[in-house]
Amino acid sequence: MTLHPTSPDELALILRDAVREDKKVSVAGTGNWSPTEGDLAISTDRMASITELADRDLTMSVEAGATMDTLHRRLAAVGLWLPCDSPGGDRSVGSIIATGTSGPLADSFGPIRDQLLGLTFVTGNGRVITAGGKVMKNVAGFDMTRLVCGSFGTLGIITDAHFRLRPKPQADCTLTARPHHDTAWDIWRTVTQSRTSSACLLNPGSGKDKAQVTVRFTGSVNAVQSRRVELEEANNLDWREEESGGYWGDHSRAVLANPISLTTGSSVSTANAVTTAIDDLLPRGSAWVQRNLVRWAGAASVKELQIFRRTMSESGTPVTVERAPWGILKEVGVFGHLSPETRAVTERLHDSFDPNKILTAGGVFVTD
């Protein structure tokens, strides 16, 4: 059964009833972004309004059921921008925040948590919680906004979000090149370290495939032009200009065309080793390298995912399985191994916010 609450208070009543009746609750969404087993499903489709667009204050409040595409369209109409290109523009804002999914623009604008000013969410014990606010800086109380972002629904169900916005950039230029593997890595390192681009994405390819490096510049017309000239002069390559909206939409769809996607932490000096491990251990898929993470999308068995995560763990690298068929996710878990102390803190949080464990039927904290 799927329920469609229209307000946080309604959702709170539903969750309190679920506790009383010992029912498990999942959030109905699309595309395996959250666990799907449960006695009840909650859809946020009736909480999908843009409740406030303060265009001169550069803030926006939205209900969690609104899709990211809806937000982008509304903002574009008034010359504003939310630099968030998480895979799946048709996903709800709540889903993107709950899974902490960031796209290539996180390279320069930070992950989705950096765009958030505040949240309302309902805990597993049916309490409506207000976190943060609507202003640019806020240290009043503990930062539950960033804690809930990326918690994969374990602490509560998000109902409202407040974002900071930016003026829409005058120019938005995406350039791609397909150089030799080593050259592609050199360009990626140089551009990433210089922090002159809004995004720099490397698809190292595999086997005989040439690597592909994609650089996105945003800003004033002159700034974008000067960075473009700088890039083209520094690398004697055949750079091809892409239409930004179309290109990044295609990239997002390429990620989602696969049944599984995961992210691993990485850095300028470790990214190459991470992609080598992916080549060795997760051969049926593609990897895209960003400043601080490598996203892989493809097909893999539970065993392959477990071995990959264990290998990464040994080098101090977290692997977050952000999306997988439920049968796989419930075996490998979203997060995998945590240190005993971190695990203890996490469990205490989980115990407080969802004491009767109604919100997830597993699948987040499973360890191999």
Q: By CB under 8 A, is residue 30 in contact with another protein?
A: no
Quote the Cα angle for 315-341-264, to 5°. Answer: 30
Q: By CB under 8 A, is residue 13 in contact with another protein?
A: yes
Q: Minimum Å distance from CB 178 to another protein?
A: 26
Q: By CB under 8 A, is residue 349 in contact with another protein?
A: yes
Which token pair is 189? 């390192």
Q: Which of 11, 19, 42, 256 binds another protein (CB under 8 A)?
A: 19
Q: Given the complex with another protein, which of 298 and 336 has the nearer CB atom?
A: 336
The CA R_g of the chain, rounded to the nearest whole Å, is: 21
Q: How far apart are CA 317 and CA 308, in angstroms?
A: 11
Q: Minimum Å distance from CB 144 to another protein?
A: 6
Exposure letters 114-150 (e unless 16+ CB within 10 A, then b):
ebbbbbbbbbbbbebbebbebeeeeeeeeebbbebbb
Region near another protein per CB under 8 A, out of 35-43, 217-225, 301-309, 321-329: 217-225
Q: By CB under 8 A, is residue 100 in contact with another protein?
A: yes
Q: By CB under 8 A, is residue 56 in contact with another protein?
A: yes
Q: By CB under 8 A, is residue 113 in contact with another protein?
A: yes
Q: How far apart are CA 138 and CA 116, in angstroms?
A: 11
Q: By CB under 8 A, is residue 240 in contact with another protein?
A: no
Binding to another protein (CB under 8 A): which residues in 119-178?
A: 123, 125-131, 133-144, 146-147, 149-151, 154-155, 167, 169-170
Which token pair is 176? 């791609």
| Total Cβ atoms within 10 A of residue 178 | 17
Q: Minimum Å distance from CB 295 to another protein?
A: 11
Q: Minimum Å distance from CB 7 to another protein?
A: 15
Q: By CB under 8 A, is residue 356 in contact with another protein?
A: yes
Q: Given the complex with another protein, which of 248 and 335 has the nearer CB atom?
A: 335
Whose tokens are 């390429």? That residue is: 254
Q: By CB under 8 A, is residue 210 in contact with another protein?
A: no
Region near another protein per CB under 8 A, out of 64-72, 250-258, 276-284, 348-356: 348-356
Q: Which of 2, 6, 20, 325 binds another protein (CB under 8 A)?
A: 20
Q: Which of 76, 77, 234, 345 binds another protein (CB under 8 A)?
A: 345
In this structure, the strands spanning 40-42 and 25-27 are parallel
Q: Do 38 and 361 contact (CB within 8 A), yes or no?
A: yes
Q: How many CA atoms lie less than 13 Å away from 30 in the CB half-sphere?
A: 11
Exposure letters 214-246 (e unless 16+ CB within 10 A, then b):
bbbbbbeeeebeebbeebeeebebebeebebee
User: For residue 193, what is the enclosing H or E element?
Assistant: helix 181-194
Binding to another protein (CB under 8 A): which residues in 244-303?
A: 263-270, 292-293
Q: Which of 17, 279, 304, 368 binds another protein (CB under 8 A)?
A: 17
